[in-house]
Amino acid sequence: MQFNLVGPFGIVTDDGRTYAPQGPKICQMLAVLALQPREAVATETLVRELWGDDAPSNATKTLQTHVYHARRMLDEAQEGAPARRLLVTQAPGYRLDIAEEEADVHVFERCVRQAQRELAQGFAEKAADHLAEADALWRGRVLSNVPVGPFLTGRIAHLEELRIRALELKVETEDRLGRYREFLPELRTLVNDHPLHEWFHGRLISALHRAGRRGEALQAYQNLYDILQRELGLEPAAELKRLQADILHATDRERVPRHSRISAAPQHAVAPLWVPAVAS
């Protein structure tokens, strides 16, 4: 059984059937539990996630009703297979008894961590394989069909930041494999989707120049300059200004070095994505 949180929330059985609980709060509750598989999440944490600071007086009883309906749905999803109790009552609250591999967010995190490790060790092809697996898991905005409270909001922000890191690693990997020409369309998409991410712009400018498209490289720099001025009143970073100068003064024999003075993406460690919930 697979719990999908990337994109719309859904539960996919081994035989391909998809279940999405009717009640949005049931989805919300299961999403919180799936983020901490095999760890008990306090009742107070679930109540605060579902109702915020305005929890009704009967919130605990209502939560128990949600648990009852979730259990029935999970039992139905296992029809025809050896049944196992997935949603377990355990102090101080409830536990979802699934392996990390049964929740796509944990598989995504593992792929990004492995890609970063392989790239650091010089194995770009292996890194590319892990990143392709991570990319296939990204089906859109996390929990796009589920209301979110404070717990899920924080986890979604962390996951979206990890997605940016995966994209940075992909750019690095394609560059090390010498596929910067083939990767130009995707670089253009990245700067369009993340217009304030200067490092993506820098890699596009560099790749265009190395591909012999000097005019387009200079236009890409001007596009970044205009965006930063319009949105933030800022100019591009110093290394991007140096890159522009290199391109302006380059001759046919003088090409910008392989990485065109645009440093690698920050090699920050991929922190564990999920931390234990703190009871309200």
* CATH for 216: 1.25.40.10
Distance, in Å, from the CA atom of 166 to the CA atom of 173, rounded to the nearest integer, reads: 10
The number of angstroms, rounded, from the C-alpha of 49 to the middle of its chain's C-alpha atoms is 21
Which residue segment(s) compose the domain that 43 sits in?
Answer: 2-102
pLDDT at site 142? 97
Evaluate whether 3 touches 100 at the Cβ level (below 8 Å).
no
Amino acid identity at 163: R
Based on the number of CB atoms within 10 Å of its own CB, is 166 exposed (0-12), middle (13-18) or buried (19 or more)? Answer: buried
Length of the chain, in residues: 280
Residues 199 and 137 in one domain: yes
Model pTM greater than 0.85?
Answer: yes
Which stretches in the chain have pLDDT values below 70?
Answer: 80-82, 251-280
When divided into structural domains, the chain yields a total of 2
pLDDT at site 251? 57
pLDDT at site 81? 67
Integer angstrom CA distances of residue 34 from 86, 135, 137, 199: 11, 20, 16, 34
Sign for the pseudo-dihedral over CA of 133, 139, 140, 144: negative
Residues 140 and 238 in one domain: yes
Whether 269 is covered by a domain: the verdict is no
Whether 170 is covered by a domain: the verdict is yes
Residues 120 and 97 in one domain: no
pLDDT at site 163? 98
Among 153, 140, 177, CA closest to 52 = 153
